Amino acid sequence: DAMVIQNPRYQVTQFGKPVTLSCSQTLNHNVMYWYQQKSSQAPKLLFHYYDKDFNNEADTPDNFQSRRPNTSFCFLDIRSPGLGDAAMYLCATSRLGQGIYSNQPQHFGDGTRLSIL
Amino acid sequence: AQSVTQPDIHITVSEGASLELRCNYSYGATPYLFWYVQSPGQGLQLLLKYFSGDTLVQGIKGFEAEFKRSQSSFNLRKPSVHWSDAAEYFCAVARYSSASKIIFGSGTRLSIRP
């Protein structure tokens, strides 16, 4: 089945130690999103890629970066994780464009739960 | 600015009872509206979406939602809930298309009483 896969499901890192979360998709969607979700809260959009174009949300801290080396993969890099960055990180994809198969709603992965020691 | 309000933080219903989760949105034009469900420790799964046509939308798992422009509402309903429906439910709105950036409501946690 076509899907969005996030690895790992659980990640533990030390305070200040860089960490990378990964997301891959087999949907051939041209847009990939990264969300941060803290306990009992709605997902908060950090940034998204529309093809190779990176779009950062205004309130996303500089500590968060992203890379999209190709259509299928997208990475979230946290340069110096703080205790406040402990959260679930969700990757989502969608297809924006023209044609009957475009404009598909966002399809989410199962997330990576990040803990900071 | 767009916004989504889910006035109920937590709802408990008995198994087999009917369910209605409320959602109100604020947007000048006809929005793209969604309901997502999130089970504990999982990602979000799309239940249903609306952007035009019939205002009563059928989704997966026996859920439906009705778009009421006059009330700016998009309430989610299910005639008979199952224990497996216990989860967090998010209403969301998108501005430009079904695939563009979406804004989530704060969510409603649904508990099922045996």
pLDDT, tens digit (0-9, with 9 covering 90-100), for A71-100: 999 999 999 999 999 999 999 998 877 654
Here the tokens at position A4 are 């969005």
User: Which residues of chain A lie closer than 8 angstroms to B106, CB-CB?
Assistant: 41-42
Here the tokens at position B88 are 């967090």
pLDDT, average across residues B75-100: 88
For residue B30, list its beta bridge partners. none
Over 90: is that where the pLDDT of A109 sits?
yes
Please tell me the distance from the alpha carbon of residue A88 to that of residue B53, in angstroms, as a whole number: 35
Phi, psi angles (nearest 5°) of residue B32: -95, 125
Question: What does the pLDDT read at residue A105?
Answer: 81
Give Cα separations from A77 to A61, A90, A110, B31 (angstroms). Answer: 12, 13, 18, 33
Please tell me the distance from the alpha carbon of residue B114 to that of residue B110, in angstroms, as a whole number: 13
Residue pair A3/A14 in contact by the 8 Å Cβ criterion: no
Over 80: is that where the pLDDT of A39 sits?
yes
Over 60: is that where the pLDDT of B99 sits?
no
Over 80: is that where the pLDDT of B28 sits?
no
Question: What does the pLDDT read at residue B97?
Answer: 58
User: Which residues of chain A lie closer than 8 angstroms to B45, CB-CB?
Assistant: 108
Mean pLDDT value across chain B: 91
User: Identity (one letter) of the amino acid at A39?
Assistant: S
Question: Which 2-41 residues of chain B touch chain A by CB within 8 A?
Answer: 34, 36, 41
Question: What does the pLDDT read at residue A114?
Answer: 97
Here the tokens at position A65 are 């970066």
